[in-house]
Structure 1
């Protein structure tokens, strides 16, 4: 599309359009990182469409441009200013890269991957726009959600801090919170625990819905 800047509201509109095209009146909105923010916006702006909410490793709570996304904004700006090859060299020598290597090596690996994308330059604009954006919802919006919700977080993740997952879970009435093993320590265990939590949530949700008269 031609709409600019890129935004979470734009991506949420895309989800609604895709659901309309697929004939899905109601659905479980689920997402990881940016996807969690999109799912949160869908739940608050389209409560008649969202039947369940699954937020995995959220990077946003309610504010625009949270400080935990500064590394993404930094990488985006370097690519836009210098091109991916020179930007990679500059970033590798940065204090941000050194800090992430100590605190959240999985985040560092993801950021380095942005330099290797074949569409690194245009994708950097997406990164810059999204890192400066927010879900466009408030704590008061979350407080009136009446949707079955699971929030999943893990430690050792600077871009997706465990505190963000905990705060979102606390802000949504009746939400369940689950902490899983850090991806930075053991990705196999991380994804196994993630899959187990998602499966349990969907099965519990399905069983609950089957007991509710239509």
Structure 2
């Protein structure tokens, strides 16, 4: 595994992959990773009132970090993030993230169980199967961006039946999906969207019962990209887990954020983090 050297708020490994990151808060060392198509600002805003010392990287292909030269997958993200922890000399850590980031955290925990003090799993979208149905529209967006102009990709999205329905019934969710097709990827690869959908967060759901660290898991209703059923299945297979269904972040965003912060800080306090 490549060794990564720290330089201020950027790290680079021997493969010349540079990772940009931010640090905020006071408390137990915690690595939180953002979702597909987002960047560390998603983590910094969502967990701004969390009682923890949070390291939040831009994952490769996102934000100000470099792209991979080869295919994007959970295993490669895991390798880079383990090297990230090693470079920071953090031996014991809480791992977690949102959506894709939570999948990377679980993947890392399976390899680093002796170093992982706890898990924070928010709105997971992957299990142990490739090409999950809930992410098909994101995969389509990735393919359109790779093979069409930006305007053509936007046109294809406008014709998508699921997107048309969400515009009427859940406009905030539709806006979140549409953000994947905006210019946040103008200087980054589009392949990360479709390639990550081809992967699985971990090899076998039942193997998660070997994880015994305290685990905080959340889901919310009215979120077709992050179904409650996925979070529930993960919770059922991690023995020492707390599972919370929060108010919809699309329909009740302030209430969602308030309950997330309160429940997460209670989890951290009750486990002496």
TM-score, normalised to structure 2's length?
0.71
1:71 is the counterpart of 2:137: yes
Mapped to 2, the partners of 1:156 and 1:116 lie a distance apart of: 23
SS at match of 1:173: coil
In 1: Cα distance, 2:103 partner to 2:169 partner: 24
Q: Give 2:208's match in structure 1, choosing from 125, 137, 142.
A: 142
Structure 1 counterpart of 2:98: 32
Moved more, 19-28 or 3-12: 3-12
The Cα offsets for residues 44-92 of structure 1, whole Å up to 9 and x where unpaired, read as 1211121101100000122222111101001111111212222112211
Q: CA deviation at 1:135?
A: 1.5
Change (3 A) 1:107 1:8: farther
In structure 2, how many angstroms separate the alpha carbons of the residues matched to 1:94 and 1:123? Answer: 23
The reply on whether 1:4 has 2:70 as its aligned counterpart is: yes
Q: TM-score by structure 1 length?
A: 0.90
Q: Does 1:181 align with 2:239?
A: no
Q: Aligned residues, how many?
A: 207
Distance 1:118 1:53, change over 3 A: closer
CA contact (8 A) 1:103 1:157 kept: no
The CA deviation at 1:188 is 1.4
1:109-128 to 2 correspondences below 5 Å = 109-120=175-186, 122-128=188-194
Moved more, 147-156 or 192-201: 192-201
Q: Which moved more, 1:172-181 or 1:192-201?
A: 192-201
* Aligned ranges 1:21-170 → 2 under 5 Å: 21-102=87-168, 104-120=170-186, 122-170=188-236
Match of 1:211 in 2: none
Higher relative contact order (CA 8 A, sep 6+): 1
Separation of aligned partners in 1, 2:237 and 2:169: 27
Q: How far has the Cα of 1:140 moved from its partner?
A: 3.0
Take 1:144 and 1:165, find their aligned partners in 2: how far apart are those partners? 17
Deviations 1:12-63 (A, max 9, x none): 1121111111110110011110011011111112111211011000001222
Unpaired runs of 5+ residues, structure 2, are 1-16, 18-67
- 1:137 shift after superposition: 2.9
Structure (1/2) with the larger helix percentage: 1
- The corresponding residue for 2:59 is none
| C-alpha contact 2:95 2:118 (8 A) present in aligned 1 | yes
RMSD: 1.7
2:256 alignment partner, SS class = helix
Q: Which stretch shows the higher mean deviation, 111-120 or 98-107?
A: 98-107
Unaligned ranges ≥5, structure 1: 208-214
